[in-house]
Amino acid sequence: MTLPLPEQLINRELGILEFQRRVLAQAEDEETPLLERLRFLCIVSSNMDEFFEVRVAGLKEQIKAGVATPSPDGLTPRQAYAEVERMAHELVAQQYQLFNQILLPALDERGIRFIRRTQWNEAQTAWIRDYFFRELMPVLTPIGLDPAHPFPRVLNKSLNFAVELKGKDAFGRNSGAAVVQAPRSLPRVIRLPQNIAGCEYGFVFLSSVLHAHVGELFAGMTVEGCYQFRVTRNSDLFVDDEETKNLRQALQGELPHRHFGAAVRLEVADNCSDTMADFLLAQFELDRSDLYQVQGPVNLVRLMQVPDWVERPELKFAPFTPSLPARIGKAANMFELIARGDLLLHHPFESFQPVIDFIEQAASDPQVVAIRQTVYRTGTDSQLMQALIRAAQSGKEVIVVVELLARFDEEANINWAARLEAVGAHVVYGVVGHKTHAKLALAVRREEGGLRRYAHLGTGNYHARTARLYTDFGLLTCDEAMTADVASLFTQITGLGKAGKLKRLWQSPFTLHSEVIAAIEREAAFAAAGRPAAIVAKMNALLEPRVIAALYAASQAGVKIDLIVRGVCALKPGIRGLSENIRVRSIVGRFLEHTRIFHFRNNGDERVYLSSADWMDRNFFRRIETSFPILNPKLRKRVIAEGLKPYLRDNVQAWEMQPDGSYRHRRKRNARAYCAQTELLALLTKGK
């Protein structure tokens, strides 16, 4: 298979930044409720933090190592970084302009005020001064910079203040500079009492309080300037696969270093002097291109809590209650339900509770003899993990595959692993070199006639909170071939031996890639023979070159291809002679689109697969993933009707990718608005 030429692909990092622009557009959209606009603004900041911690850090490491080999899109690390730096600065400037000129005034009009230091009245000034001495002063430690006090180690993404000073201290020292670190225990946004604020919701930034009173930390000296700053560091963890004997211990030793990795970005307030900015850049070994000077708080992420603090339902998305499938009643026996036929769940529109019930009933049912489950992200307070602990305590055979290297969830997963091991569960950490990303749970139950397996397979994590925020499908089944495949997969992970042939599942790193390409090539063969051929695929990202090559070839054979790719897509659609039959769209809305669905027309014998995997190199070759078929014809139609068709029809939250990699909002004037997520909420949920 001929791989795509560099000019036929989009760079991954630039594609990620294009996605952030689409998220920011949600914050710009006047039809989005006001407090949700603030939340989307914060989400962009959170996403950008991770982008710098991982993707930009990776580019910098390659540049430092002298890597000049271009990626498949033709850009060398240095060229990619130059484009990333340009786009990222534009995006951040756009973000703060929206924050200061649009969102803050709009919130102010509705009685939600962020009161600047220059606007404090006498009562506010007095209350804030008292708050500083009572709540802040006791926990602040100023560090003067001199030969005995070198520049302090600054935690990743922590809030700090660089202070320019004039005069001498009690020891006659005159270094001219100091650093004040704000402990993470301090709130970054402080709510004023209503009678002091003069409005229903009045807030001040921690940075404003410290700016106003920083002189109290340096008695007898004059503060010439006080500048908030924040450094972002490389947060990828390195664990040597060959040298490590105990992955959990190695990871526990590595986690603290995440806070002090190499600096990749410096954020400072707009009032920061050039002298201080250059001084800070030198301390972190950064260049001017790594400096982001912003008008406002250097950490907008910490405003994410504000919408939750403000009791103004009219400024938020309408609440909803996820429904339950009609087959599920109160106190339903999940094993009896599943035995009567496969059960499909569509989150967040349908409740995640049946999945919790499945595991909890497996833990308490005396007929269940064994439970196996994968854990990628599950949260720090998980009913599912508590159920597995109870199951192990009751003497059941419990095997949990905990992925310790789930980025930014490593600590939570280490803690769950330790708790599970303490009660006798068998905990394994997957296969070294391959993250276990598959979403699988298996219960083995003793019934009349012998042992019977029941399984849950999903596209999303076993995380009750994100199940209300992400769109995902889950399947509960006792199909013999499907559950036998799940059992085989667990045996592969926990034991040793060659991979056996699975009957139903496609699996990474063994068969998923080849099966996806074979399915695409079958559609191309049908089209070439004049038969019906079409592909509709929904995923988070599309990057793998050989899959893209197969899609290009299928397009040239006449296959109509619709791709719904939320994030980065390296494929270029709509290019004559290459991809004119391919359409790519991205849906960005209230819920994070997380479902992976692969639909092949297959000459009229439709095939629908759900998957934990995106079409990326890492998912195909460096992770343990599954893709599973929907065998029940009614459920297959339902996946198409709920998971694909509404998104192809959407003209409110849909963005269509252009041949050059840019995106155009598809919203049409004078056309009936159709929003897939809104329609699914109306179809499947109950208003609260």
Reported as a single tens digit per residue, the pLDDT across 325-341 is 888 877 689 999 999 99
- Run of H or E residues at 137: none
β-bridge partners, 443: 371, 454
User: Higher-confidence residue: 663 or 221?
Assistant: 663
Position 90 pLDDT exceeds 50: yes
In terms of phi and psi (left: phi > 0; alpha: psi -120 to 50; beta: otherwise), the region of 319 is beta
Position 248 pLDDT exceeds 60: no
pTM tops 0.85: yes
- Give the whole-angstrom CA distance, residue 471 versus residue 443: 25
605 within 8 A of 532, measured Cβ to Cβ: no
When pLDDT is cut at 50, 70 and 90, the band that residue 171 belongs to is: low
The DSSP call for residue 67 is: -
Whole-number pLDDT of residue 634: 97
Beta strand 177-181 pairing with 592-593: unpaired
Mark whether 47 and 182 lie in a shared domain.
yes
Mark whether 212 and 296 lie in a shared domain.
yes
Whole-number pLDDT of residue 368: 97
Q: Which of 165-174, 290-299, 418-427, 641-650 has the lowest mean pLDDT?
A: 165-174
The count of structural domains within the chain is 3
Q: What is the pLDDT of residues 611-663, one digit of tens each?
A: 999 999 999 999 999 999 999 999 999 999 999 999 999 999 999 999 999 99
When pLDDT is cut at 50, 70 and 90, the band that residue 113 belongs to is: very high
- Give the whole-angstrom CA distance, residue 155 versus residue 669: 49
Chain centroid, CA 450 distance in Å: 42
| Residue 297 belongs to domain spanning | 6-315
- Give the whole-angstrom CA distance, residue 356 versus residue 330: 14
Burial of 72: CB neighbours in 10 Å, binned 0-12, 13-18, 19+: buried
Whole-number pLDDT of residue 670: 63
Task: Indicate the length of the chain as a whole number.
Answer: 688
**Domain presence at residue 206:** yes
Whole-number pLDDT of residue 379: 73
Q: What is the pLDDT of residues 385-410, one digit of tens each?
A: 899 999 999 999 999 888 776 555 56
448 Cβ neighbours under 8 A, 6+ residues apart: none
DSSP structure string for 316-375: SPPPEE-B--TT--TT--HHHHHHTS-EEEEETTB-SHHHHHHHHHHHH-TTEEEEEEEE
Whole-number pLDDT of residue 251: 42
Which of 504, 538, 559 lies at the terminal end of a domain, its last residue? 504
Rounded mean pLDDT of 211-222? 88
Mark whether 512 and 488 lie in a shared domain.
no
Mark whether 83 and 21 lie in a shared domain.
yes
**Domain presence at residue 343:** yes
Q: What is the CATH number of the domain that holds 260?
A: 3.30.1840.10
Rounded mean pLDDT of 585-593? 97
**Domain presence at residue 525:** yes
Whole-number pLDDT of residue 243: 39
β-bridge partners, 508: 625
Whole-number pLDDT of residue 174: 63
- Give the whole-angstrom CA distance, residue 461 versus residue 343: 18
Q: Please, what is the end-to-end C-alpha distance for the chain in angstroms?
A: 53
The DSSP call for residue 615 is: B
**Domain presence at residue 1:** no
**Domain presence at residue 250:** yes
Position 169 pLDDT exceeds 90: no
605 Cβ neighbours under 8 A, 6+ residues apart: none
Rounded mean pLDDT of 226-231? 95
- Give the whole-angstrom CA distance, residue 642 versus residue 626: 21
Percentage of the chain modeled with pLDDT above 90: 76
When pLDDT is cut at 50, 70 and 90, the band that residue 147 belongs to is: low
Whole-number pLDDT of residue 559: 98
313 residue type, one letter: P
- Give the whole-angstrom CA distance, residue 599 versus residue 163: 59
Which of 454, 469, 504 lies at the terminal end of a domain, its last residue? 504
Mark whether 493 and 512 lie in a shared domain.
no
**Domain presence at residue 611:** yes
Position 245 pLDDT exceeds 60: no
Active-site annotation, residues: 437
When pLDDT is cut at 50, 70 and 90, the band that residue 220 belongs to is: confident
β-bridge partners, 164: 177, 225
Mark whether 521 and 660 lie in a shared domain.
yes
Position 244 pLDDT exceeds 60: no
**Domain presence at residue 279:** yes
Which of 315, 348, 364 lies at the terminal end of a domain, its last residue? 315
Rounded mean pLDDT of 226-239? 81
- Mean pLDDT over each residue of the chain, to the nearest integer: 91
- Give the whole-angstrom CA distance, residue 561 versus residue 582: 5
Mark whether 121 and 193 lie in a shared domain.
yes
Whole-number pLDDT of residue 417: 82
Rounded mean pLDDT of 505-523? 97
Mark whether 341 and 445 lie in a shared domain.
yes
When pLDDT is cut at 50, 70 and 90, the band that residue 534 belongs to is: very high
- Give the whole-angstrom CA distance, residue 24 versus residue 42: 9
Whole-number pLDDT of residue 253: 45
Mark whether 264 and 364 lie in a shared domain.
no
Mark whether 218 and 292 lie in a shared domain.
yes
Burial of 575: CB neighbours in 10 Å, binned 0-12, 13-18, 19+: middle
Burial 332-357 (b: 16+ CB within 10 A, else e): eebbebbeeebbbbbbbbbbbbbbbb
- Give the whole-angstrom CA distance, residue 119 versus residue 198: 12
Rounded mean pLDDT of 358-380? 92
Mark whether 279 and 418 lie in a shared domain.
no
Which of 144-153, 171-180, 504-513 ranks highest by mean pLDDT?
504-513
Whole-number pLDDT of residue 408: 54
Q: Which of 127-136, 251-260, 371-380, 632-641 has the lowest mean pLDDT?
A: 251-260
- Give the whole-angstrom CA distance, residue 234 versus residue 237: 9
Whole-number pLDDT of residue 252: 46
Q: What is the pLDDT of residues 449-479, one digit of tens each?
A: 899 999 999 999 998 889 999 999 999 999 9
- Give the whole-angstrom CA distance, residue 13 versus residue 568: 8
Whole-number pLDDT of residue 688: 40
Mark whether 237 and 101 lie in a shared domain.
yes
When pLDDT is cut at 50, 70 and 90, the band that residue 562 belongs to is: very high
Q: What is the CATH number of the domain that holds 347?
A: 3.30.870.10
